[in-house]
Chain A
């Protein structure tokens, strides 16, 4: 596993060396972009990792667009206009993706609700809080029960 990782980083380094920029400051942006953009032909690989012809072409295109002084967003928009949002590994938040982006928050809130309810339910029957439990049981005895209890106690005293 480690060997594979090592090999892959070396391949990546080799890959990066081939690309020549007029301005070295473009290189980190290039690297960032090709890692965030997805190869349209392969299943689940980014442009940086893929060696398919279409990925080679798209990497070259990204480089060209960087040299043409386009912003990262403009480059992404350019590719989305041609290859659809499939090409973005980090999709934009819009009306089809809000659930995808929102679901972690929704699940955390749901989890908090469950924990909250479990915690307070348990506390309700906890003997360590006698105020709650005693007032509850006091009020639960009806007048009828009280009468019966009184008569039983009276019987016992007579014996």
Chain B
């Protein structure tokens, strides 16, 4: 009994090592999502294309859609944009949240790179961003027909991310399975 007790410090050390090693695998830049399975926050903001007209959650029209947070100053958004174009071509409804951007630059971006968005919310001050807990563009939210956020991705959506995180849920919600190619 006493001899076994001598191994106690070693086994405690081994247990601690194991716990810390598991911790190494976690991505420290990733935050837990506070808003998954919560309703998308209601908002009323100018649209990007027309400063005079306001857009709100009513414009989601009870459809399954992606909400994509983007900006022209966001480098990763450049990489992501072709994926969004490809998804939109296959009928995925994408609402853009143009986050803390300049209207002119953002409109030019859409002209140059194509416009995958059904409409764009122009969030100049980042207020809707705060309500969503946005901490880095690009971010993509999958919102169901009831207006509930079902999934959140912080970072670029590419083929791998779409297949791993979105495809199954999107199929379940809509019955369609859009695919992304390797090149996007």
Contact = CB atoms under 8 A, between A and B. Distances in A.
Interface of A: 40-41, 43, 53-54, 57-58, 61, 80-86
B133 A57 contact: no
Given A43-B28, A82-B131, A83-B135, A57 B126 contact: yes
B58 interface: no
10 contacts: A40-B133, A40-B135, A43-B28, A43-B29, A54-B136, A61-B130, A80-B34, A83-B31, A83-B133, A84-B31
A83 B36 CA distance: 11
A61 B134 CA distance: 14
B129 A57 contact: yes
B49 interface: no
A62 to B, nearest CB: 11
Nearest to B129: A57
Contact of B34 (A53, A61, A82): A82
A57 B31 contact: no
Nearest to B131: A82
Q: Binding site of B, secondary structure by majority: helix, strand, loop or mixed? A: loop
Contacts, number: 38
A84 B32 CA distance: 6
Contact of B33 (A53, A54, A61, A84): A84
B105 interface: no
A8 to B, nearest CB: 23
Nearest to B32: A84
Interface of B: 28-29, 31-35, 100, 125-126, 129-136
Listed from nearest, the 4 A-B pairs whose CB atoms lie closest are A82-B133, A40-B135, A84-B34, A84-B32
A81 B34 contact: yes
Contacts of B131: 82
A41 B136 contact: yes
Nearest to B36: A84
Contacts of B129: 57
A58 B135 CA distance: 10
A44 to B, nearest CB: 9
B137 to A, nearest CB: 10
B31 A86 contact: yes
Nearest to A60: B125
Given A53-B100, A57-B126, A82 B31 contact: no
Contact of A83 (B29, B34, B126): B34
B121 to A, nearest CB: 16
